[in-house]
Chains A and B, each alone.
Chain A
């Protein structure tokens, strides 16, 4: 299983194998290769499904097996059931599972050609809205009933609500938390059933774990994905509302001051105390998480299906789940992030109403129940019955979800902010001599660069009024 999140879930593959290329041909071809870059872009990801689309069938490009194992089987079964039911008399539904690496490139290529899926999967928040702003997505709210929209989880809707319209249909949500090892807690003299809830308790617990001879926090940052996790866990605790998160991208605030940057001080404290594994920067995210599974580390960042997997493998007496300890003073200080992945209707689809009907079908109670049973994915819908949950971790996270604010920072900032600011800024914190000031400066530079390079997105942010 891959780690949660769009960026976390896209380890990527090298573009070119380079095995049998001859250097001579490289030299002769380099100019052509560079020059034909747009052609290469157009070529990437084309998979020939346009034929199915042209046939009149409703084509769905989906993703999720990578983080919720069993989703493919569920989807295939539901498509078959939907086709057999005769709900759509104009044609059938065809669903094609997409690869992580080509999820966006293949779709954008199709969108440019205006030939491709009628329904497209996106990772949520800005990762879906970016394609909305590119003009690739049709408002969902124009093709489903208002009663249906009212049934959707409001927090999940908010992530893809923009310009007064609902663009994405929350498909499944994934609680994001920390897995901890109860046995290691007990060995370190800590109460295994009461994980740390405040920052001071957290530091005390990690210090005790370190003294007991284990790595307190197992993490990997070589592949850059950890930055998005850390800012989403820690970076919003001084916010009073999600508006605070997007204010810096609207140009209403600078990324500075305690409200925005205290989390970096807190993180630096953990690093300076040696509470992470010493090879954070030379291993990947999943390798850091594996340190928990192999019981080398006491705590790791994790997501709902993965924590459930840990629980099933190591036992409920070993694996516990905890929220991010609170240091902040904002209204969002104590929160539980359960971000949602979404399905959308494409702007170039000639079958948009049929697509809306199919999306509504995926939120039928028996379908939501079947999805949870098949892959543990929870549908963010008010009709999802908590009585269906069957693991302790799921039940605990559902309880948190129902009682705490839901906010996943990564879904509200533009990706270049993470790549050019958060990741390098936090990575340098892990280096000898790394400073919070440098990290803050790197992050502000990233925002400035994004504003310079993407004025259209800045404008989109200024138009962004959050769903209340």
Chain B
């Protein structure tokens, strides 16, 4: 039954043309559901965000349009301070990466008790950020656990108001973020290392390569793509995923010293009732995040070229 139909279709030029156009259209049909979902989930919100960001509210419900919101937020010293704090948090990324790579390498070598250590390293990452924030906000109080411990050890010169000092507060948050986020890097790097051919390490050892040379010439190149991924991801996190830490631990204070961009958005949107200004800052944040993602894409291509 099927054979004549196939023959007839193949033998007709018109039908052949339809087949070619069908072949052209078919991939788009396959892509259509996902495209529709993306347009609904991403496209509409982006459009709405852009519209909100250029909508200027007036009195008693009147509205206008223009770039006033962007002018306001760009002139805002608080936003500039917040962006500066995001940049300060960027400095945590190399620290997190180095610590995570070293810990992962040590654990990969199955040092005594490695399973236990692996759990210990990963546990902070499992904890909810608000829980971590609340605990550390108590630990780091002037009369909190940390200062009490330092005092008990006779280290009084190291006692500080960790969250109450505008010089120290952002760095206290910084340390807590590193403490919590390192575990994720360790797990990522360990997963990558598990795919490393043991023969390569053994060969290096036969060649009398020491730990550092094995690490430098075998382990590190193998980890490179994951390191690049982790670094990009962490940078984006430091830009747009640190709200919870700051909100819970300091609320942006003291004296605005720990403001981050997300907190500015939150306050404008939810505390001030200024969603349009919040949208303008969100657009700026979106652009910055997009730049980071683009940079990651460029780096990845370069690594792929090197590998090939």
**Which residues of A approach B to under 8 Å, CB–CB?**
12-19, 23-24, 26-27, 30-39, 41, 44, 104-105, 108, 130-131, 133-135, 221-224, 278-283, 415-416, 419-420, 423-425, 427-428, 430-431, 442, 445, 449, 452-454, 456-457, 459-460
Contact = CB atoms under 8 A, between A and B. Distances in A.
Contacts of B225: none
B274 A31 contact: no
A445 B274 CA distance: 19
A427 B255 contact: yes
A121 to B, nearest CB: 16
Q: Which 10 A-B pairs have the closest CB atoms?
A: A135-B61, A281-B164, A36-B45, A279-B142, A282-B164, A19-B128, A18-B129, A428-B255, A35-B46, A14-B130
A134 B267 CA distance: 17
Contacts of A134: 57, 60-61, 273
Interface residues of B, number: 74
A283 B72 CA distance: 33
Given A104-B273, A415-B272, 5 more contacts: A17-B129, A19-B128, A31-B290, A278-B142, A449-B77
B247 A460 contact: no
A44 to B, nearest CB: 8
Chain A, interface SS category? helix
Contacts of A279: 141-143, 161, 164
Given A134-B61, A135-B61, A453 B277 contact: yes
Contact of B72 (A26, A423, A452): A452
A431 B165 contact: yes
Interface string B120-150: 0000001111100100010011111000000
A419 B186 CA distance: 40
B274 A23 contact: no
Contact of B255 (A14, A135, A431, A459): A431
A26 B58 contact: no
Contacts of A108: 273
Interface centre among A23, A135, A280 (most CB of B within 10 A): A23
9 contacts: A16-B129, A31-B42, A36-B41, A38-B45, A39-B44, A108-B273, A281-B165, A425-B255, A427-B166
B107 interface: no
A133 B61 CA distance: 7
A429 B141 CA distance: 19
B158 to A, nearest CB: 16
A35 B72 contact: no
A67 B211 CA distance: 63
A224 B59 contact: no
B254 A428 contact: yes
Contacts of B176: none
B76 interface: yes
B285 interface: yes
Contacts of B233: 23-24, 26-27
A37 B164 contact: no
A31 to B, nearest CB: 6
A222 B251 contact: yes
A135 B58 CA distance: 10
B143 to A, nearest CB: 6
Interface stretch (B4-12, B199-207, B237-245): B237-245
A314 to B, nearest CB: 23
B266 A15 contact: yes
Given A31-B286, A34-B285, A39-B45, A17 B130 contact: yes
